[in-house]
A and B are shown apart, each in its own frame.
Chain A
């Protein structure tokens, strides 16, 4: 028998010949939460992101370009993904840059798909404006532009809105490790700085 047949047969045999248990999943953890973009959620999101050591700038739609330039703080070169609807000065468009070119970049500017207030998480699904996964990984500074309406309350609210067939990266603060005496150190392999620009009308 093949390994596949063997394993499937062993699973079937494990419960014996009787009926298998029917287990219902209780979802008592679901709660009524504020709608996306609620002002209380925005405040919570900012607090939780900053708790990880990331910086948040809140601004109006017309101030986005200025806020991004301030967040970049002179970092260069900057790479941007296709579909980013923002004029970033002297930015290099990612049209299949080699790993070495990404490694040479100091910063990357993208948008995101949504954000989770309770956990201070931003989620990228790597479409237009967000770029392939490597783009937001190799440069040392990630500036992420989010719209207030993209901020949802909690993890279940995020899962309900996401398409599982798209690649996803959930980001909660800058890269970190607790592997040395369990004390948290910011910055190992991913971007050591995360700057969020939160846009509300």
Chain B
């Protein structure tokens, strides 16, 4: 059975647990360092990279500003080419459409191309409830599915697993899902890939119905695009008789020509290659070639909510490359599971709250704070999503949302107290004097030094611990600036 992200703890709690897992940190550090240097080399080769980013961002912004018109164009073009277009407001509606198609063909299994949209709507679990097995065919998704695990990266969902762990999963779990792994399987990646090839081939050859997502959907022509590496995508898009593609409404681009920008930006940003091994494009039904029944499900599931957020709507430019995960100092240390969503890392920290809505639960509200705001994510984003600015805006939204809470947050109380003290010169003078005395007392036994050589306080007790457990608090000076000023200069 697949696990879901429902009911995950808020980020700080999940992060603390993840940080304690040294195997996880080693796996992540190695993997993200590899992909970072590959991406840097692939991007460095392109002289016009900045111009491509500008174009990518502008195409997406222009599309979003006229999204309703482009969606209607897409629907028209797809229908004219023999595809059936469905619309789904949410996860349940999208799943019901897929289930109906599968049942209409009397199947109890479907093969799946890796797709973030179907992950997001938890399609596999919903299909399982309807008695339909969904076989993931991407290698990393297969590892996650067989291991009854959760994805932890957008591009490489099993990035948290090393080769030895993957061998163990294949050895113990493959047999229950179909063709077993070879008895003498080692942890050599080539052997592991071969085991997956043999395990999945029988599923590809017999599958009647496939489910995919799409990286892009071209409004003027009705062309759908899937970008992949292994060939499992081509298998699913080509061999079955029926194909259902679940496509987020933000995946639309107006013209076929627009692909000339994204097919340069995406592979170099995601896998760090000049081009990914396979890109498939199809436009409705092609007689005599591939699926003869083609469905497209246009999915909202929070996207129009994100579109209404003036600062946050730029998140809908995202092409799911995962470059921001690989450069993020927070992601590198805590991994993807701590974000409690299929969208981890910096993009997940803004996408989750924007899709679900600030205030929907404690976990979602913790995400905008899961960042040091260093800005590395913005620098690598191929469509120039200003993630730090959106994070800051969402933090303000979270704070505003909780202003009316019956029990105010400790931070709100502290801010209120600070406001009271800072609002009056006499009150500030008293507070400084008290802090000075406290500093002299507390600073004496401390041996910690903050950057710059100033003595720092160790861990404070009780409420103060929540601040000082991850930060240095400089010891307050014995003499405040204002007292110094009046003593040194006031005499003249």
Residues of A within 8 A of B (CB): 2-4, 6-8, 10-15, 20-29, 31, 48, 52, 99-100, 103, 116, 118-121, 126, 132-134, 137, 155-156, 158-160, 162, 164-183, 185-191
Are B235 and A189 in touch, CB under 8 angstroms?
yes
Contacts of B280 in A (CB 8 A): 133, 167-170
Are B59 and A25 in touch, CB under 8 angstroms?
yes
CA distance A12 to B72 in the complex (A): 13
Rounded to whole Å, the gap between the CB of A76 and the closest CB of chain B is 20
Which stretch of B98-106, B226-234, B328-336, B446-454 is in the interface?
A: B226-234
Contacts of B143 in A (CB 8 A): 179
Contacts of B47 in A (CB 8 A): 31
5 residue pairs bridging A and B, Cβ less than 8 Å apart = A10-B308, A159-B263, A167-B286, A180-B189, A181-B31
Given contacts A177-B193, A182-B34, are A25 and B277 in contact (CB under 8 A)? no
CA distance A70 to B58 in the complex (A): 48
Option from B139, B159, B249 in Cβ contact (under 8 Å) with A7: B249
Rounded to whole Å, the gap between the CB of B100 and the closest CB of chain A is 14
Rounded to whole Å, the gap between the CB of A152 and the closest CB of chain B is 12
CA distance A170 to B226 in the complex (A): 10
Are B196 and A8 in touch, CB under 8 angstroms?
no
Are A11 and B307 in touch, CB under 8 angstroms?
yes
Are B51 and A29 in touch, CB under 8 angstroms?
yes
Given contacts A182-B34, A189-B201, are A172 and B235 in contact (CB under 8 A)? no
Which stretch of B254-262, B343-351, B419-427 is in the interface?
A: B254-262
Are A183 and B48 in touch, CB under 8 angstroms?
no
Residue of B nearest to A159 (CB): B260
CA distance A46 to B159 in the complex (A): 32
Q: Does B271 contact A (CB under 8 A)?
A: yes
Residues of B within 8 A of A (CB): 27, 30-31, 34-35, 38, 47-48, 51-52, 54-55, 58-59, 61-62, 65-68, 71-72, 81, 87-89, 93, 137-140, 143, 156, 158-159, 162-163, 166, 189-190, 192-194, 196-197, 200-201, 204-205, 218, 221, 223, 229-232, 234-235, 237-239, 249, 256-257, 259-261, 263-264, 271, 273-283, 286, 288-290, 298, 300, 304-305, 307-308, 313
Contacts of B162 in A (CB 8 A): 181
Rounded to whole Å, the gap between the CB of A176 and the closest CB of chain B is 5
Contacts of A118 in B (CB 8 A): 274
Are B54 and A133 in touch, CB under 8 angstroms?
no
Contacts of B300 in A (CB 8 A): 3, 6-7, 10
Option from B55, B71, B204, B261 in Cβ contact (under 8 Å) with A8: B71
Are A177 and B139 in touch, CB under 8 angstroms?
yes
- The 6 A-B pairs at the shortest CB distance, nearest first, are namely A190-B231, A10-B304, A189-B231, A28-B51, A188-B230, A170-B279
Rounded to whole Å, the gap between the CB of A32 and the closest CB of chain B is 12
Are A23 and B62 in touch, CB under 8 angstroms?
yes
Contacts of A162 in B (CB 8 A): 256
Are A133 and B289 in touch, CB under 8 angstroms?
yes
Are B197 and A187 in touch, CB under 8 angstroms?
yes
Contacts of B273 in A (CB 8 A): 172
Contacts of B271 in A (CB 8 A): 178
Are B139 and A169 in touch, CB under 8 angstroms?
no
Rounded to whole Å, the gap between the CB of A132 and the closest CB of chain B is 4
Are A11 and B283 in touch, CB under 8 angstroms?
no
Contacts of B54 in A (CB 8 A): 26, 28
Rounded to whole Å, the gap between the CB of A146 and the closest CB of chain B is 16
Contacts of B156 in A (CB 8 A): 178-179, 182
Are B51 and A177 in touch, CB under 8 angstroms?
no
Contacts of B286 in A (CB 8 A): 126, 166-167
Option from B30, B65, B140, B308 in Cβ contact (under 8 Å) with A22: B65
Are A172 and B274 in touch, CB under 8 angstroms?
yes
Are B68 and A182 in touch, CB under 8 angstroms?
no
Are B229 and A137 in touch, CB under 8 angstroms?
no
Are A28 and B277 in touch, CB under 8 angstroms?
no
16 new A-B contacts at CB < 8 Å, known A23-B58, A175-B229, A180-B158:
A7-B71, A22-B65, A25-B55, A25-B59, A28-B48, A29-B55, A99-B239, A158-B260, A164-B283, A168-B280, A169-B281, A176-B230, A179-B140, A180-B166, A182-B38, A188-B139
Residue of A nearest to B236 (CB): A189
Are A156 and B260 in touch, CB under 8 angstroms?
yes
Contacts of B298 in A (CB 8 A): 7
Rounded to whole Å, the gap between the CB of A175 and the closest CB of chain B is 4
Contacts of A27 in B (CB 8 A): 51, 55
CA distance A168 to B281 in the complex (A): 5
CA distance A186 to B290 in the complex (A): 25
Option from B87, B189, B237, B263 in Cβ contact (under 8 Å) with A155: B263
Contacts of A28 in B (CB 8 A): 48, 51, 54-55
Contacts of A165 in B (CB 8 A): 81, 221, 223, 283
Residue of B nearest to A190 (CB): B231
Which of the listed residues B51, B257, B277, B290 has the most CB atoms from chain A within 10 Å of its own CB? B277
Residue of B nearest to A8 (CB): B68
Option from A134, A167, A172, A189 in Cβ contact (under 8 Å) with B197: A189
Residue of B nearest to A140 (CB): B197
Contacts of A8 in B (CB 8 A): 68, 71-72
Residue of B nearest to A3 (CB): B87
Contacts of A187 in B (CB 8 A): 190, 193-194, 197
Are A133 and B205 in touch, CB under 8 angstroms?
no
Rounded to whole Å, the gap between the CB of B307 and the closest CB of chain A is 4
Are A176 and B229 in touch, CB under 8 angstroms?
yes
Residue of B nearest to A168 (CB): B281
Are B139 and A26 in touch, CB under 8 angstroms?
no
CA distance A168 to B259 in the complex (A): 13
CA distance A158 to B73 in the complex (A): 24
CA distance A21 to B27 in the complex (A): 44
Are B239 and A190 in touch, CB under 8 angstroms?
no
Residue of A nearest to B233 (CB): A189
